[in-house]
Chain A
Amino acid sequence: MSDVLAITEHRQGELRDVSSELVTVGSELAAQQGGELHLGIIGGDVDAFAEELSLEGVETIHTVDHGDEFNHDVYTQATAQLFGDIDPTTLLLPNSVNGLDYAPAVASELDIPLVTDAIAISRDDGLEVTREMYGSKVETTVAVDAEVAAVSVRPAEWEPTEAAGDPAIESFDADIDEDAVKSTVTGFEEVAGGDVDISEANFLISIGRGIEEEDNLPLIEDLVEATDATLSSSRPIVDNGWLPKNRQVGQSGKVVTPDVYLAIGISGAVQHVAGMKGSDTIVAINTDPNAPIMDLADYAIVDDLFDVVPALIEALE
Chain B
Amino acid sequence: MKILVTVKEVAEAEDDFDIDGLDIDERYLEFDLNEWDEYAIEEAVQIKEDGDDVEVVSVTIGPERAEETIRMGLAKGVDRAIRVWDDAFADVGMLDPKTKADVLSAVVEDEQPDLVLTGVQAGDDSFGATGVTLAETIDFEWGAVVNALDLDAGAGVASVHRELEGGIEELTDIELPAVLTIQTGINEPRYASLRGIRQAQSKPLDLHELDDLGLEESDLESPLSRTAMYEPESEGDATVFEGSAEETATELASLLRDVGVVEG
Contacts and interface: CB of A to CB of B under 8 A. Distances in A.
A312 to B, nearest CB: 4
Contacts of A70: 170
Contacts, number: 278
Interface stretch (A31-39, A127-135, A167-175): A127-135
A294 B184 contact: no
A230 to B, nearest CB: 11
A68 B249 CA distance: 53
Given A97-B162, A101-B145, A252-B164, A138 B230 contact: yes
A315 B249 contact: yes
A75 to B, nearest CB: 12
B12 interface: yes
Contact of B227 (A100, A116, A141, A240): A141
B109 interface: no
A260 B259 contact: yes
Contacts of B225: 142-143, 145
A260 B261 contact: yes
B144 A141 contact: no
B31 interface: no
Interface residues of A, number: 101
A103 B129 contact: yes
B238 interface: yes
A133 B124 contact: yes
Given A185-B172, A294-B234, A298-B239, A316 B129 contact: no
Interface stretch (A41-49, A211-219, A299-307): A299-307
Interface stretch (A51-59, A84-92, A157-165, A283-291): A283-291
B34 to A, nearest CB: 12
B226 A228 contact: no
Contacts of A311: 245-246, 248-250
B227 to A, nearest CB: 5
A72 B142 contact: yes
B83 interface: no
Contact of B132 (A102, A144, A184): A102
Contacts of B96: 113-114
Contacts of B184: 235-236, 239
B113 interface: no
B196 interface: no
Given A235-B184, A300-B239, A302-B240, A185 B171 contact: yes
Contacts of A189: 161, 168-169, 171
Interface stretch (B13-21, B197-205, B209-217): B13-21
A238 B101 CA distance: 32
B108 interface: no
A188 B170 CA distance: 5
Given A186-B172, A290-B15, A97 B124 contact: no
A100 B126 contact: no
Most buried by A among B126, B133, B161: B126
Interface in A256-305: 259-260, 281, 283-284, 287-288, 290-291, 294-304
Given A113-B96, A140-B229, A255-B166, A134 B238 contact: no
Contacts of B264: 316
Interface string A91-135: 000011110111111011101011111000000000010011111
A251 B130 CA distance: 22
A302 B240 CA distance: 8
B261 A97 contact: no
Nearest to A284: B238
A117 B231 contact: no
Contacts of B248: 301, 303, 308, 311
B171 A251 contact: no
Contact of A295 (B16, B181, B228, B235): B235
B98 A133 contact: no
Interface in A166-218: 182-193, 202-203
B73 interface: no
A186 B231 contact: no
Nearest to A308: B245
B256 interface: yes
Interface of B: 11-13, 15-17, 19, 22, 24, 94, 96-98, 101, 120, 123-133, 135-137, 141-145, 159, 161-175, 181, 184-185, 188, 223-232, 234-236, 238-241, 245-246, 248-250, 252-253, 255-256, 259-264
Interface of A: 11, 70, 72-73, 76, 95-98, 100-105, 107-109, 111, 113-117, 128, 131-146, 149, 182-193, 202-203, 227-229, 235-236, 238-241, 245-246, 248, 251-255, 259-260, 281, 283-284, 287-288, 290-291, 294-304, 307-308, 310-312, 314-316
21 contacts: A96-B165, A97-B165, A100-B120, A104-B133, A114-B133, A117-B127, A128-B227, A138-B13, A139-B232, A140-B228, A185-B170, A191-B167, A202-B261, A246-B167, A248-B167, A295-B234, A295-B236, A299-B241, A300-B238, A312-B249, A314-B246
